[in-house]
Structures are given as structure tokens and as C-alpha cells.
Amino acid sequence: MIMNKLILFLITGFSLFLFTSCKTAKTSAEGNIGQTLSSGSTWVLRTINGNETAYGNDAFLKFDPEKNTLSGNTSCNLLNAGYEINGDRMTISQGITTRRACLGENIENEFLKNINEVYYFEIKNNILTLYNADRKELFTFAKNQE
């Protein structure tokens, strides 16, 4: 009788340990992705479709992993959207923008077209690269060292 209780106690304890360990590892991995994208950092646009842009100081993204939202600027209007990450995949929902009249040159149309095509992402050396489903580079953003 005591032996059965001891075995049951050990099995229950071991199962609880495994469940807790797996959940902690998953949360930790997801947290690392979110902290890399967020932590209050601004990602400043450097290239669009492989071409350097002069609008980098105006076009940027900020991620909020707690709410799965992003905000930014398209080089003319403000942008807000949702996003989801699964491994190296990132999907960005149809966003909303302000409706300012954009005088002069800007890259807003190209920016908005590309943001809807984002499928993969990669972060290396404080550079965020966003790709489409064919792994064609759409954007590179540099983490602003505020």
C-alpha cells in the first residue's frame, strides 16, 4: 500500500516537472523573439526591394509583442497593424494608416504593398529583414540605438 502511494507520488511529481519544463521553454523562446523585436526599439528602414532609401529616418516600425501589434511610419502616414510570429514566419494583418496628403516624393505605396506581402523574417546583427513567401527581400530595418 505504501509502495503504491510512493509510486503514484513519484509519477505525479515527474509528470508535473515535465509539464512545467516544457511550458517554461516555450514561453522563454517566444519571449526572446518578442524582446528582440520590441523592448521599445525603433526599427528604421534601410532598404526596400533591395534598394537603399533616403526615407529611412521617416519610415520605421515598432513592435509590441504583448499585444501582437506594430506601429510605424510609411514615409508619409502613420501605420498600425497586427502581426503574428510562428518560427521564422511573420504575417502582418491589413493595417490602418492616417490619411495625410503626402506632398513631394515618398515610398508609401511601395511600403504598403510590401508590408502586406511579408511572410518570413530574420534578425541578425540588429538588422531586421522581411521577406515574401518566395524569400525575396522586401525590407531591411536597422535597430535604432536610442
Residues 6 or more apart whose CB falls under 8 angstroms from that of 100 comprise 76, 77
What is d(CA 80, CA 63) in angstroms, rounded to the nearest whole number?
10
- Residues in the chain predicted with pLDDT less than 50, given as ranges, are 4-32
Using DSSP, how many helices (H) and how many strands (E) does the chain show? 2, 10
pTM of the model: 0.74
Residue 135, Cα to own-chain centre: how many angstroms?
A: 16
Strand partners, 103: none
Convert the pLDDT of each residue in 47-88 to its tens digit. 999 999 886 668 999 999 889 999 999 999 999 999 999 999
The pLDDT, as a whole number, for residue 39 is: 61
* Enclosing H/E stretch for 67: none
Locate 53 and state its grid cell: 532609401
Of 120, 131, 123, the residue nearest 36 (C-alpha): 123
Cell of residue 40, nine digits: 521599445
pLDDT reported for residue 18: 37
Report residue 41: phi and psi, to 5°: -80, 150
